[in-house]
Amino acid sequence: AQSVTQLGSHVSVSEGALVLLRCNYSSSVPPYLFWYVQYPNQGLQLLLKYTSAATLVKGINGFEAEFKKSETSFHLTKPSAHMSDAAEYFCAVSGDAGNMLTFGGGTRLMVKP
């Protein structure tokens, strides 16, 4: 069965610093992978997705993620954090279960001034 593990339920960075949010997945078939962001009191917004085209995927708001099959990882990065990036980030996978998404536990990103 497909699964997602997000290492670190809370990540704190200084404004301007590198953001790295970790995601590892398990899937018995080539997966589709997604990162979503949830701002306070809002729904989920799709940041980016991996669909087996390019392994380095660029998303909105300057985020990008790299698919590494050998490491079963799909870590999310941003070179320079902004205060507005403070939110909850969810990694998700589909593939094993068809179109069903399985979500990781989420990582709360805090950005310090």
Partner 1 sequence: SAVISQKPSRDICQRGTSLTIQCQVDSQVTMMFWYRQQPGQSLTLIATANQGSEATYESGFVIDKFPISRPNLTFSTLTVSNMSPEDSSIYLCSVEGTGSSYEQYFGPGTRLTVT
Residues interacting with partner 1, by CB under 8 A? Answer: 32, 34, 36, 41-46, 49, 51, 90, 94-95, 98-101, 103-106
Distances 100 to 32, 62, 108, 112 between C-alpha atoms, Å: 11, 27, 24, 35
CB of 42 to partner 1, least distance (A): 6
CA 68 to chain centre: 13
In the chain, the amino acid numbered 21 is: L
Is the Cβ of residue 34 or residue 74 nearer to partner 1 in the bound state?
A: 34
| Dihedral over alpha carbons 55, 21, 48, 96 (to 10 degrees) | 70
CB of 28 to partner 1, least distance (A): 16
CB of 45 to partner 1, least distance (A): 8
